Amino acid sequence: MGAARGPVIGVIVFALLLVGSCGKGSNEENDGLRVTLEEGRKIALENRNKVFLFGLDGFDWQVIEPLIASGRLPNLKKLIDSGAAGVLRSEDPMHSPALWTTVATGHSRKDHSIGHFIEAATGQERLLSSNDRTKEALWNIVPEYGKTVGVINWWATWPAEPVKGFMFSKNFFYRDHIKKTFAGTFTDEMGKDLAYPPELLRELLRIWPDPESEAEVELALKKMREIFGHDLPEGFSRERFDDFVKNKIDVETHRFTPGYLTTVLASAVVRDRRLAFTTQKLLDLKGQPDLLMVYTWSPDQIQHHFWEHYQPSAFEDSKVGDVPFCANVIPAYYEYMDQMLGDILKRLDPDTTVIVCSDHGFQAKPDHTKKNNLRLETVLRELGYLAFKKKGGIDWERTVAWDRTPREQFWNPVRHIRLNITGRDPHGAVEPDQKEHYVRQVIGALSKLTTTQGEKLFTEVRPLTQSERASAADADLLVQFDLSIRLDAKVVFPNKKIPLASIYQFHPQTGDHRLDGVLVMAGPAVGHGAIKEATLHEIAPTILYLMGIPVGEDMSGRVLTASMDSGYLAAHKRYTISTHEKGRVAKRGAQEEGAGSQAIRDELRNIGYFGGGTGPSEDGGDE
C-alpha cells in the first residue's frame, strides 16, 4: 500500500458533490412539532424503519479512499455509492469513551459525564462505567417507544443495562469466559452484569467454539497471515505470546519490536473474531432489533502501532525496512472490517438504514518517541511516601505525597507532586508545621535516585513558586524526568534495584488521532450527496428521527435532514419532545469494576492512553 494522502476526502466526496450537497440545515429545517411521550409512542410505532449503527474507532478517509479505488472495500463502497458520505467532525480531547457516549446520547461530555477512560479522583484507576453516565442513551430511549435494541461492545456499557432486546458490554470481550466454560468452571457470578439478559449470555456460551482448539487457533493465525501478507515472525506462537509482549521495545531503534507488534495484531484479531461471532449469533438467535449498535476499537489500536509502516515517508528516521511484513497491516485490517460489515449486512433486512462512522480519524505522528509516561506514583511508593490499600485506591492515612499531575499532561516529563497536609487535604497525614520538613525530605530522596550507571533519574527537583502553583493544580513540588536515560537501565532505590521499564512507559506509537472522522449513511431514507458539517452530536438525533421517535430538544446535536431523501422528508415529519431525561444520576458510590476491567486497563496502559496523576475526590476521598 502506498503512502496515505492528505486530509481531503478526494475522489469519493468530489463525485458525491456532483450529485448534490448535504449541508447544515436551517433552523426551520430542524424545528419539529413538539409532542408528548404518549403521542410520540403512537407515532413511533407507525414507523417501521430499522437502523444499524456500526462504529469503527479511528477509521479515516485517507486510508479508505485508495482502498475504495482499488476495489478492496466492496461493502463500504456499495453504501457510499447508494447513500451519502462525508467527514464526521470530532472534538478534543479525543478520548474514545467520551466520544462514543456523545454518539449514543446526543449530549456533550460535560452533560453525559463520561469524559475519559478512567476515574482517577480517588487514587484508584477505575474504568468509567454505565454507572457514571448522567444522560439517557439510545438504548434507554428507543425502548420507551416500543422498539427493540441490540448493543454490542460499546464503551462504558458495564454493568449491562436492562433493555428491550440485548446488550453485551465491552467487558464481555475482555474476559476469558470461554476458556472457563470449556474447563467447566464458568459460573453465573463470573458473568454478572456482562450482558443482558443473562440467560442469553448462557445460551451464547453454549454454542461458542472452544478458543483453545487447534481449529480455532489456526483460523486466528490464518487471519493474521492474511493481514501481514507474510508468515509470522520467527518463533512466534501462542505459547510464547507473553514473552513477545514483555519484549516490547527495541532499545537501539526506539521502536516496537516485530514480536510485540505481532501480539498487538493477534489481540485485535482474536477480539474481533469474538465480536463477529457474537454479533452474528445474536442476530441468528434473537433476530434483528429495531436499532442495532456494534462497535470495534481495534482499528484505533492497529493504526497507533503500524502507521509508520503504512506511511514511511512521514518519518525522517523510518525503520520500516527492518520489518517489511508490517507494511500491509493497516489496509488489510480495513479490509477485515469491511468483511465484518458485509457479514452483518447479510443478516439484516434489506431496507435497514445503515450508518457507519468513526469517532475521529488518523494521521502520522513523526514525533512518536516523545510519548512517554513516568509512573511517578510507583517511585513515591518505593520511597515510602505513597501507600495503596490492598483492594486498590490510595491509603491516605499512610500517604505523605502523591502525583498531582493532571491526567491530560501525563506524557509531559515535567510532573507535579502534592503533599498530603492535614487541614488542607481531605485526609491529610502531614501536620502543617511538618510541611517544610517533608518538602526537604522528598526533594532529597528524589534527587538521589540514579541508575546503576550513575545517571540521575530527575534533572530537576524543586518547590513550585506561588505563581507556578496556580497553574499546577496547587501542587507543591516540580520534578523533571531525564528522557535521555537508556530504556534498559535499572534505577537504584534504597533497598532494591528496579528496571526502568517498571516505572517508565515508552510508547513510540507512530499514528495519532485527527479530528476528521468518517460518516457514511445509506438506506431508503437517505439521499445522495456529500455530508457536510456533521459532528458526533448529530448521530443520536438523526437515528431517532429515522425511527420516528421525537428528538429531545435539550440534545446538543441536530437531525441531518440535508442528508435525507426529499421524498422521505416530505412523508415523515420531524417531532420533538422537551427531554428524554428522567433525572439519571451517576452512582458515584459504585466503585467496583466488572469482570474484564483489569484487562481493558492493562491494554489502555500498554497502548499509552493513560497513566500518571491520581488524587482525592472533592467529597473527601474513596471511603
Full 3-state SS string of 164-213? CEEEECHHHHHCCHHHHHHHCCCCCCCCCCCEECHHHHHHHHHHCCCCCC
The whole-number pLDDT of residue 558 equals 95
The whole-number pLDDT of residue 411 equals 67
For residue 165 the three cell numbers come to 432486546
Q: Residue 55: which residues within 8 A CB-CB, separation 6 or more?
A: 100, 103, 154, 293, 294, 295, 296, 357, 358, 359
The whole-number pLDDT of residue 604 equals 66
393 near 124, Cβ under 8 Å? yes
CA distance linking residue 145 with residue 40, whole number of Å: 7
The whole-number pLDDT of residue 176 equals 64
CA distance linking residue 434 with residue 10, whole number of Å: 64
Q: How many CA atoms lie within 13 A of 417 on its CB side?
A: 31
pLDDT at 599 over 60: yes
Point out the least confidently predicted range of 33-42, 208-217, 299-308: 208-217
Higher pLDDT among residues 420 and 210, named by residue: 420
User: What is the H or E stretch that residue 530 is in?
Assistant: strand 529-535
Share of the chain above pLDDT 70, in %: 80
531 near 22, Cβ under 8 Å? yes
500 near 492, Cβ under 8 Å? no
66 near 5, Cβ under 8 Å? yes
Q: What confidence tier does 250 reach under pLDDT thresholds 50, 70, 90?
A: low
* Highest mean pLDDT out of 233-242, 252-261, 366-375: 252-261
The whole-number pLDDT of residue 459 equals 94
β-pair type (490-492, 477-481): unpaired
Q: What confidence tier does 598 reach under pLDDT thresholds 50, 70, 90?
A: low
CA distance linking residue 263 with residue 163, whole number of Å: 35
β-pair type (497-499, 490-492): antiparallel
β-strand partners of 119:
126
pTM for the predicted model, two decimal places: 0.81
Q: What confidence tier does 316 reach under pLDDT thresholds 50, 70, 90?
A: confident
CA distance linking residue 547 with residue 45, whole number of Å: 9
Q: Residue 617: which residues within 8 A CB-CB, separation 6 or more?
A: 121, 122, 426
Point out the least confidently predicted range of 78-87, 231-240, 277-286: 231-240
CB atoms within 10 A of CB 454: 7
Q: Which of 52, 137, 194 is nearest to 521 (CA)?
A: 52
Q: Which of 549, 494, 534 is nearest to 144 (CA)?
A: 549
Query: Mind giving me the DSSP string for 18-62?
Result: HH-EE-PPPHHHH--EE--HHHHHHHHHH----EEEEEETT--HH
Task: Cite the DSSP H helix spans in 287-428.
Answer: 298-310, 329-345, 376-382
Query: Mind giving me the DSSP string for 411-478?
Result: TSSEEEEEE-BBTTBTT--B-GGGHHHHHHHHHHHHHT-EETTS-BSEEEEEEPPHHHHHTTTT-SEE
Average pLDDT on 390-407 reads 85
Average pLDDT on 165-175 reads 88
pLDDT in tens, 336-384: 999 999 999 999 999 999 999 999 999 998 876 555 677 898 899 999 9
Query: Phi then psi for 165, rounded to 5 degrees?
Result: 140, -125
pLDDT in tens, 424-470: 999 999 999 999 999 999 999 999 999 999 999 999 999 999 989 88
56 near 357, Cβ under 8 Å? yes
pLDDT at 622 over 80: no
CA distance linking residue 377 with residue 610, whole number of Å: 13
CA distance linking residue 30 with residue 553, whole number of Å: 10
Q: Which of 131, 211, 122 is nearest to 171 (CA)?
A: 131
Average pLDDT on 37-64 reads 97
- What single-letter DSSP state applies at residue 388? B
CA distance linking residue 22 with residue 528, whole number of Å: 8
Q: What confidence tier does 540 reach under pLDDT thresholds 50, 70, 90?
A: very high
pLDDT at 473 over 90: no
Q: What confidence tier does 575 reach under pLDDT thresholds 50, 70, 90?
A: very high
Q: Residue 37: which residues within 8 A CB-CB, separation 6 or more?
A: 144, 577
Higher pLDDT among residues 179 and 454, named by residue: 454
Q: Hey, CA dihedral for 527, 528, 534, 535, is it positive or negative?
A: positive
For residue 600 the three cell numbers come to 481493558
pLDDT in tens, 5-30: 344 444 444 444 444 444 433 333 45
Q: What confidence tier does 332 reach under pLDDT thresholds 50, 70, 90?
A: very high
CA distance linking residue 171 with residue 597, whole number of Å: 6
Higher pLDDT among residues 571 and 390, named by residue: 571
Average pLDDT on 35-58 reads 96
What does the mean pLDDT of the chain come to? 85
For residue 27 the three cell numbers come to 433552523
The whole-number pLDDT of residue 508 equals 73
Higher pLDDT among residues 441 and 586, named by residue: 441
CA distance linking residue 183 with residue 60, whole number of Å: 41
The whole-number pLDDT of residue 213 equals 80
CA distance linking residue 172 with residue 315, whole number of Å: 38
For residue 387 the three cell numbers come to 501507600
CA distance linking residue 623 with residue 611, whole number of Å: 22
The whole-number pLDDT of residue 32 equals 82
275 near 150, Cβ under 8 Å? no
The whole-number pLDDT of residue 586 equals 78
Distances in whole angstroms, Cα of residue 55 to Cα of each of 83, 91, 174, 346, 590: 17, 16, 18, 18, 28
Q: Helix-strand-coil percent breakdown of the chain, rounded to 5?
A: 40, 20, 40
